[in-house]
Structure 1
Amino acid sequence: MHVSPRASRPTIHDVARVAGVSRGTVSRAINGDAYVSAAALAAVQRAVAETGYVVNRAARSLVTRQTGSVLMVLSEPQEKLFEDPNYSTLMRVAMRRLAERDISLVMMLSGNDGDRDRVVRYVRGGHCDGVLLVTTHSGDPLLDELSRQHIPAVTCGEIPGGRHQVPFAAADDRGGAQRMTQYLADSGRRRIATITGPLDTPGGLLRLEGFCDVLGRKATKKLIAYGDWTRRSGELAMTELLARSPDLDAVFVGNDLMAAGALAALRAAGRRVPEDVAVAGFDDSSVAMSTHPLLTTMRQPLEQVAEETVRLLLELIDGSEAVDSVVLPTELIVRESA
């Protein structure tokens, strides 16, 4: 069929005429009705391609009661979105997986009260079919709002505290931290410190717990400093540790970005890595291959975590009443820094 340039964009009526079926059949085929025959479905698909018809999401949502979009919420300030390469990996995988279902990904931040209020209004307005939460903090009021709205939601990482039973996909943060700390101890390091992420996030809390599991009483307060996942916070925390415990000979850092900051602080203090102080990170992000020396780190399968997170959310959107959370193994990657 040739559509005149003067005509408006192709409609469902055009598709029905080219396919030789009724408008109702076209509508049922587009909306995934199981009672459309294979022959009719093939005819509709050919007609859609020939006419260049684009589904009107607003109209389809009246039938399916779905918006065709998923909301990804990053509970961090805007600058972290651009500094941490892990977020770009999560977004890339989520966009690809959702596109396979013709679902759009909408990104919003909730790093402060104003941002959080905008997210709540968006969810209350019924503008998304589900929510994918990234770096969620325990006690976040957004979790209560999602529960009230009965909207499908999953998180990257388990929410600390156990108050909210939201399905999640995550790397084995605690087990990975245990293995890295044990590796440093087995390498002959006797005064091992750690730099944690925020303790109201799963990675921050569980990686600290893994560190303490291995060292027990040796994990004293003097050997624990706190960061916020940024490179600058790692540098400041490392400087603080050196002032408190100048005899430390290893540091396990909660992520690669903070580890890069710790390396900068050690250089400024005249400490050699790994001769004087061994440094180990967590993630195996692109940062780990850009440091000097190259960073020993714990690899988390971030792409697989993202895949599993989206899979869980799609199952909930499709009507599953419950899904099982997924915890994936980590892998020790030994390089030059430890």
Structure 2
Amino acid sequence: MRRVAKLSAACIATAALAMTATACGSTSSDNGNDSSSTGGGKGVKIGLAYDVGGRGDRSFNDSAARGADKAKTEFGGSIKELTAKSSDTPADREQRLSDLAQAGYNPIIAVGYTYAPAVDKVAKQFPKTSFGLIDAVVPGKNVDSITFTEEQGSYLAGVAAALKTKKDHVGFIGGVDSPLIKKFEAGYVQGVKDTNSKIKVDTQYLSHGSDTSGFASPDKGKQAAQGMLDNGADVVYSAAGSSGNGAIEAVNGVKGAWAIGVDSDQYQIPGLAKYKNSILTSMVKNVDVGVYDFVKSVKDGKPLTGTNTYSLEKEGVSLSTSGGFIDDIKAKLDAAKKKIVDGSVKVKTTP
């Protein structure tokens, strides 16, 4: 469904959106990557507003893309993708969502917590359009707030790091020092310390405050990881979007060191294939499941609303086993998971 408007206005909005895509067709997130995939006139019209990095980040945004792609394959229709820039203002994010709504896309998924203020405002302006928001909570009769227990999955990553380090020294790299990414840090550090309190944990953030460039700067990720490795760490976990790709590259250059990936199973990502033997595991965050569930609910005429949390118990987060590098510690990881699920271990959400 679309907001009630004159047909001519909707056509103008669609045309304007198409012109934007033509003008901003760069693959660089800083230049705005706008692309579309069409599947005919029937089915669902999915609007995807990515965070910085966009489709192709091999991490967070790609997970959201997989969910939309699955829905499009099953239900038909089309996907329109717009990507945030590191220089975005709140008004830019609002405009991106408004453009999708005016062009008749429904549902619209805002990928990332930075869209929360924009969703809060734009959803009220388009009450007949369903909005999905990843990683933040916004009240609204037409908003599905899709959240995850990142701290729980990161706890298991910390347990794995503690069991695999040979130097009793590990690292954590965060993209931006936001409350969301601090959940990753908190869980990881707790998992490490609960396993072996003597292990040293280095922590570094790549950008701060409203600067989101830390999610799309592989060079900064590589530099941060290299610094940790030079300082003696031999396991590095990155929660930093495409910046984590740089960290994985740095780890690959050090014999005996391990990287822990995030969001997607990064061992399986073709673009990281030459580094895969250095990827111990990945803390998989099933954004694709949340996106798919939301799109399906809209397609079925019963849009999900409120806050829907994908926990460790519900397999919303997990550790990947690709490569078989954690097979030898599976029993200990399963025991740690059981303690979280049954409540005997409470995982912190702040460092």
Do Structure 1 and Structure 2 share a fold, with TM-score over 0.5? Answer: yes
Task: Provide the residue aligned with 1:278 in structure 2.
Answer: 258
TM-aligned CA distance change 1:147 to 1:182, over 3 Å: farther
User: Which residue identity does 1:247 align to in structure 2?
Assistant: G
Question: Which structure has more strand as a fraction of its residues?
Answer: 2
Task: Give per-residue Cα distances to partners, 1:41-73, cap 9 Å, x unaligned.
Answer: xxxxxxxxxxxxxx988xxxxxxxxx9523111
Partners in 1 of 2:165 and 2:65 — Cα distance? 40
In the other structure, the counterpart of 2:250 is: 265
1:183 has 2:160 as partner: yes
Q: Which residue of structure 1 aligns with residue 174 of structure 2?
A: 196
2:48 equivalent to 1:72: yes
CA distance in 2, matches of 1:56, 1:298: 38
The alpha-carbon distance between structure 1 residues 281 and 95, as it changes in their structure 2 partners (threshold 3 A), is closer
Structure 1 segment 53-202 matched on structure 2, within 5 A? 69-76=45-52, 80-84=54-58, 87-88=61-62, 90-98=64-72, 100-111=74-85, 112-113=88-89, 115-123=92-100, 125=102, 127-137=104-114, 140-150=117-127, 151-156=129-134, 158-159=135-136, 162=137, 164=139, 166-169=143-146, 172-189=149-166, 190-200=168-178, 202=180
Take 2:51 and 2:174, find their aligned partners in 1: how far apart are those partners?
A: 18
Pairing of 1:203-214 with structure 2 (within 5 A): 204-214=181-191
- Amino acid across the alignment from 2:131: A
If the length of structure 2 is used for normalisation, what is the TM-score? 0.59
Corresponding position of 1:17 = none
Q: For the Cα contact (< 8 Å) 2:218–2:243, is it kept in 1?
A: yes
CA distance in 2, matches of 1:73, 1:253: 23
Q: Tell me if the contact between 1:196 and 1:253 (Cα under 8 Å) persists in the aligned partners.
A: yes
State the shift of 1:90 in Å: 3.5
Write out per-residue CA displacement over residues 221-276 of structure 1, whole angstroms, 9 at most, x where no aligned residue: 95334342543232022134356xx13232222268544422443566xxx332xx
**1:140 to 1:233, Cα distance in 2 relative to 1, 3 A:** farther
Report the identity percentage.
Answer: 10
Post-superposition Cα deviations, 1:74-124, rounded to whole Å, max 9, x if no partner, equal: 1325xx433436645543542442464454322222332474353244256
Match of 2:215 in 1: 228
For 1:214 and 1:92, locate their aligned partners in 2 and report how far apart those are by CA, in whole Å: 29
Structure number with higher relative contact order (C-alpha < 8 Å, ≥ 6 residues apart): 2
Q: How does 1:3-42 map to 2 (within 5 A)?
A: none
Partner-residue secondary structure (3-state), 2:176: coil
Equivalent residue letter for 1:91: A
TM-score normalised by structure 1 residue count: 0.61
Structure number with bigger Rg: 1
The 8 Å contact of residues 70 and 130 in structure 1, kept in 2 or not, is answered as yes
Which of 300, 305, 321 is the aligned partner of 1:333? 321
Asked if 1 retains the 8 angstrom alpha-carbon contact of 2:138 and 2:145, the reply is: no
Counterpart Cα distance in 2 of 1:256 and 1:322:
26
The answer for the alignment partner of 2:281 in structure 1 is 297
Gaps of 5+ in 1: 1-54, 58-66
CA gap of 1:121–1:251, structure 2 versus 1, over 3 A, is closer
CA distance in 2, matches of 1:167, 1:229: 26
- Tell me, in whole angstroms, the C-alpha distance in 1 between the residues paired with 2:304 and 2:238: 38
In 2, Cα distance between equivalents of 1:199 and 1:228: 11
| 1:239-258 equivalences in 2 (<5 Å) | 239-242=226-229, 246-254=231-239, 257-258=242-243
Aligned length: 261
